[in-house]
Amino acid sequence: MQKILMYDTTLRDGAQGEGVSFSVEDKIRIARRLDKIGVHYIEAGWPGSNPKDVEFFKRMAENPFRHARLAAFCSTRRAGTAAEDDANLRAVLESGVRTATVFGKSWDFHVFRALNTTLEENLAMISESVAFLKGHGLEVIYDAEHFFDGYKARPEYAMATLQAAQTAGADTIVLCDTNGGSLPSEVMAIVSEVCGELSVPIGIHAHNDAGLAVANSIMAVEAGAVMVHGTVNGYGERCGNADLCVVIPNLAIKKRLSTIPRENLVFLTELSRYVSEIANMNPDPRQPYVGASAFAHKGGIHVSALMKDSGTYEHMPPESVGNIRRVLVSELSGLSNLVYKFRDLNLNGEHPQENRRILTELKDLEAQGFQFEGAEGSLELLLRKAYNDYRRPFALETMRLLIDMKDDRVIHSEAVIKLRVKGETVHTAAEGTGPVHALDNALRKALESHYPDINKMQLVDYKVRVLDETAGTEAVVRVLIETGDGCKTWGTVGVSTNIIEASWQALADSLAYGLLKKQEEC
């Protein structure tokens, strides 16, 4: 089986993406996870370029990887400077890495406009930089920056830059679509040509500005490339880099090539979400293979066929990459969606007449503005009431909100609620920074003595959407609340013309659902 080397640059190229910033500890945690899943190379930054990267390479020298090779990134020597005197090249040696990735210019336009030097000097910069690093015993990966644009503009010079790197001893030459504008057909033709001309292994480094980074990476492999550069979740500058969470399963599962260890493919979804969390970026639900919606089914006809054979509407089992199948219930659902959901919850839902009634109720609720796709907590409570004699662990008797605004425009909110909990009446009050916060505090205060697990549940997100903007302040609003307990999160929904009532519905469901799950764990 042909082996394709996976080269991750999340910690360097990925960190250049808008909104992404990693601390030293972040980089170490991600690097350890990448090493564990089995990527072959982890590129971590420019040694000496900033204190963060200096600290990272120092820490990694003390605790090396178990499997991956750590690569340091740098440019060729500066024009008019000897390689041994170049600060970037010296910093790579001082970092202690055994692999260096050095990039140079392939496009004559860049040589003239960006480097302000001659074509001959650029060739010397490439050759002498690679030779310098090789002379100190390092494995050298040469990144041919802007290679595809350079080749299309002046192929003989672009090839001369690669020949310079090969002659100087580069172990691998990586062709970079730095501006991300090349088409798959162009990439395949050019990589084929390069593989025929050079004797060293060829790699691909694709950016996603035309939405083709993954496709271009696959086509490069088809043409002979044996190394693929990319980032977790496709993070990177502008539109990002090739997404390794998509590249890897395409190569390993579709092409049956050797990438990361086969048994580690099941950890791809976990890796994707782990890096999203550390990067403080919302996961893309529609990300292929690992996104929450990648194996989500909504149409009734789809689900009906899916229940007979998952291959009818899935290109592969979601478990292969650590993902799960999800069946959504909405106004587009058929009875199959509902039956699947009951089975998924281990509920007895084999009553066609009752199922039709419930489905009609769900569609009526969605017509009013409810949306259960992102509110699995509210949906499960509704289904359990129908078939499981579910009773909410508390019932509201009365609720009152007091809002004071002083002359200094400081607003004080207080909620007073009376609940029925385990046969007794609980009457309490609490303040908050706003009415919903006060209501949340009062509800928790009333429940915590009876249900201590409430203290582990925290509101993660609160969204309000106006469903009919033309109705002004009388418009129906939908409130979506996301709650978490440190291990998992769940969504709940409320709809009303009164934002407080909608918030109460979602808030009450969020705690009721959390308590239900805690009870099931016990």
CA dist list (Å): 198 to 7, 22, 144, 166, 394: 21, 37, 14, 8, 73
Q: How far apart are CA 364 and CA 240, in angstroms?
A: 42
Contact 244, 271 (CB under 8 A): no
As a whole number, mean pLDDT of residues 447-469 equals 87
DSSP for residue 381: H
Q: What is the structure's pLDDT at 304? A: 76
Q: Which helix (H) or strand (E) holds 248?
A: helix 244-249
The torsion defined by the Cα of 235, 238, 239 and 243, in degrees rounded to 10, comes to -30
Q: Which helix (H) or strand (E) holds 344?
A: helix 335-344
> Under CATH, what is the fold of the domain 369-386+457-522?
Double Stranded RNA Binding Domain (3.30.160)
Matching CATH topology for 5-279 and 369-386+457-522?
Answer: no
Q: How far apart are CA 55 and CA 48, in angstroms?
A: 9
Tell me whether residue 181 is exposed, middle or buried, using C-beta atoms within 10 angstroms of its C-beta: 0 to 12, 13 to 18, 19 or more: middle
pLDDT (tens digit per residue) in 188-231: 999 999 999 999 999 999 999 999 999 999 999 999 999 999 99
Contact 105, 122 (CB under 8 A): yes
Phi, psi of 339 (to 5 degrees): -60, -45
pLDDT at 407 exceeding the cut of 90: no
Q: How far apart are CA 147 and CA 63, in angstroms?
A: 35
Q: What is the structure's pLDDT at 253? A: 97
As a whole number, mean pLDDT of residues 40-56 equals 89
Q: Where are the alpha helices (DSSP H) in 395-494?
A: 435-447
More confident of the two residues 168 and 66: 168
Q: What is the structure's pLDDT at 468? A: 73
Q: What is the structure's pLDDT at 379? A: 85
Q: What is the structure's pLDDT at 386? A: 73
Q: How far apart are CA 258 and CA 240, in angstroms?
A: 25
CA dist list (Å): 359 to 344, 368, 376, 518: 16, 14, 15, 28
Radius of gyration of the chain (CA): 29
pLDDT (tens digit per residue) in 281-335: 888 999 999 998 899 887 777 777 777 777 888 899 999 999 988 776 665 566 6
Q: What is the structure's pLDDT at 357? A: 79
Structure tokens that stand for 214 in this block: 């993954």
Most confident of 164-173, 311-320, 342-351, 452-461: 164-173
Q: Which helix (H) or strand (E) holds 60?
A: helix 51-62
Q: Where in 106-234 does DSSP place strands (E)?
A: 139-145, 172-177, 202-206, 227-230
Each domain of the chain, given as residue ranges in start order, spans 5-279, 296-368, 369-386+457-522, 394-450
- pLDDT-derived band at 338, boundaries 50, 70, 90: low
As a whole number, mean pLDDT of residues 239-250 equals 98
Q: How far apart are CA 49 and CA 88, in angstroms?
A: 8
Say if domain 5-279 classifies as CATH 2.40.110.10. Answer: no
Q: How many CB atoms within 10 Å of residue 52?
A: 15
Contact 207, 175 (CB under 8 A): no
Q: Which of these ranges, 172-186, 348-362, 419-433, 493-507, has the smallest mean pLDDT?
A: 348-362
Average pLDDT, the chain: 90
Q: How far apart are CA 252 and CA 119, in angstroms?
A: 40
pLDDT at 522 exceeding the cut of 60: no
pLDDT at 249 exceeding the cut of 90: yes
CATH class of 394-450: alpha beta
SS3 17: coil
Q: How far apart are CA 163 and CA 329, in angstroms?
A: 59
| Terminal-residue alpha carbon distance, the chain | 47
